Amino acid sequence: MLRFLALRIAQFPLILAVIYLVTFLLVWVAPGSPFDRTERVVDPRVTELRKRQLHAEHWNTFLAHYSRQVLLHGDFGPSLAQAQFSVNEILARALPTSAALGCLAMLIATVGGLGIGVISAVRRGGAMDWIGLSVALVGISLPSFVVAAVLLMTFAVFWHWFPPNGWGTWRHMVLPSVALSLMPMAYISRLMRVSMLEILSSDYVRTARAKGLSRPAVVWKHCFRNAFLPVLSYLGPATAMTLTGSFVVEHVFNIAGMGREFVASVQNRDQTLVLGVVVVYSVLLLGLNLLVDVLYTLVDPRIELTAKAHGA
């Protein structure tokens, strides 16, 4: 177990370095640059100077400077498009917002998805099954901006239950996190329902019932844990994705989070900011996937983590 952890953690820097390089390559070969995005006619010498100041005159100066900064100081440098801010400042401002939103969304998605999944598996074909299935299908069949807009119109504009936009109190967080949670909730409830159905028909469940255990006890104590495993492996990447924010939801509710910064940075070819956001995202993804693997052993003691079994 410890060996496994050590091996995985030892691989992190390598994977991150590859992702950093690939991202750099992608944003660098893409046409357009943050320096020619202004309406004013700028003297080419000024642009040249500016590029030199920011170490962006050539790909090797950029890579040499910024990768060293990141490695030595954890500093992603100044944002090329929003020159008054450093990438670290932008990340420090956007990440907590997105993380709070993402955590709440994942909480709603997990609790809701597991609940819907279990109930619809237990009451298969019943009313709850159909309601749950429709929620799940809406979650994966409509673009999130439609869902977000409809939520906004209904609960903020018509009924005034929640503020329509902005950030600050818990009331601001409710609608965006519900909108953000629908997609993962849909997947979780589908996964949970399928694996729950499989387990409900297994022999040990019948035995437990035959011994006189009550239905809830069997469902929640015996089945839930086993059925949870496939959901657990989905939770890792889903959480990383939700934590770094969804641009669409942040845009509809006018929240300054990671998703918005990310899309803006890609559109502005703000190379330093793109790299910063991608690295944060990858760290979250890698960390959460590792966490999921560790949690696996806690949920299911039969699984033993060995460096070999997991190959890479």
Partner 1 sequence: MSRILPADFSDRSFPDAPPSLWRRMMRSGRVVVGGAILLLVAAACLVSLPRTLDPDLENHFYYDGGADNWDWRAPPAAAEPALWFGTDNLGRSLLARCLTGGAISLAIGLAAAVIAVVLGVSVGMVAGYRGGWTDAGLMRFVDVMYGLPYVLMIIILKISLENPLQKLFDPKVGNLIVLFLAIGLVSWLTMARVIRGQVLSLRGQPFIEAARAAGLTERRIFLHHLLPNLIGPILVYATLTVPQAILQESFLSFLGIGIQKPLPTWGSLTSEALEANAILGGRWWLLAFPSALLGLTLLCLNFVGDGLRDVLDPKRSSSRL
Question: d(Cα 305, Cα 207) in Å, to the nearest integer?
Answer: 30
Burial pattern 31-61, b for ≥16 Cβ within 10 A else e, equals: eebbbeeeeeeeeeeeeeebbeebbbbeeee
* List 42, 49, 71, 138, residue binding partner 1 (CB under 8 A): 138
User: Scanning residues 209 to 268, which ones bind partner 1 (CB under 8 A)?
Assistant: 241, 244, 247-248, 251-252, 262-263, 266-267
Q: How far is the CB of 29 from partner 1 (least distance, A)?
A: 7
Does 64 interact with partner 1 (rule: CB under 8 A)?
A: no
Specify the residue, 56 or 280, whose C-beta has the smaller distance to partner 1: 280
Restricting to residues 173-212, name those near partner 1 by CB under 8 A: 190, 193-194, 197-198, 201
Distance of alpha carbon 173 from alpha carbon 9, whole angstroms: 34
- Tell me how far apart the alpha carbons of residues 156 and 175 are, in angstroms, rounded to a whole number: 8
Cβ distance to partner 1 smaller for residue 228 or 281 = 281
Count, residues near partner 1 per rule CB under 8 A: 47
What is the maximum span of the chain, computed from C-alpha positions, in angstroms? 85
Distance of CA 155 to the CA centre of its chain: 25
- Residue 163 tokens, joined: 């503020």
For residues 274-293, which are near partner 1 according to CB under 8 A?
274, 278, 281-282, 285-286
Q: Which of 97, 133, 120 is nearest to 257 (CA)?
A: 97
Whether residue 248 contacts residue 241, with contact meaning beta carbons closer than 8 Å, is answered with no
Nearer to partner 1, 7 or 142 (CB): 142
Contact flags string 19-48 toward partner 1, x per CB under 8 A: x--xx--xx-xxxx----------------
Q: Residue 130 or 170: which CB sits closer to partner 1?
A: 130
CA–CA distance, 266 with 262 (Å, rounded to integer) = 6
Choose between 191 and 218: whose C-beta lies nearer to partner 1. Answer: 191
Is 236 within 8 Å of 250 (Cβ atoms)? Answer: no
The binding site for partner 1 (CB under 8 A) comprises 15, 18-19, 22-23, 26-27, 29-32, 133, 137-138, 140-143, 145-146, 149-150, 153, 157, 190, 193-194, 197-198, 201, 241, 244, 247-248, 251-252, 262-263, 266-267, 274, 278, 281-282, 285-286, 312
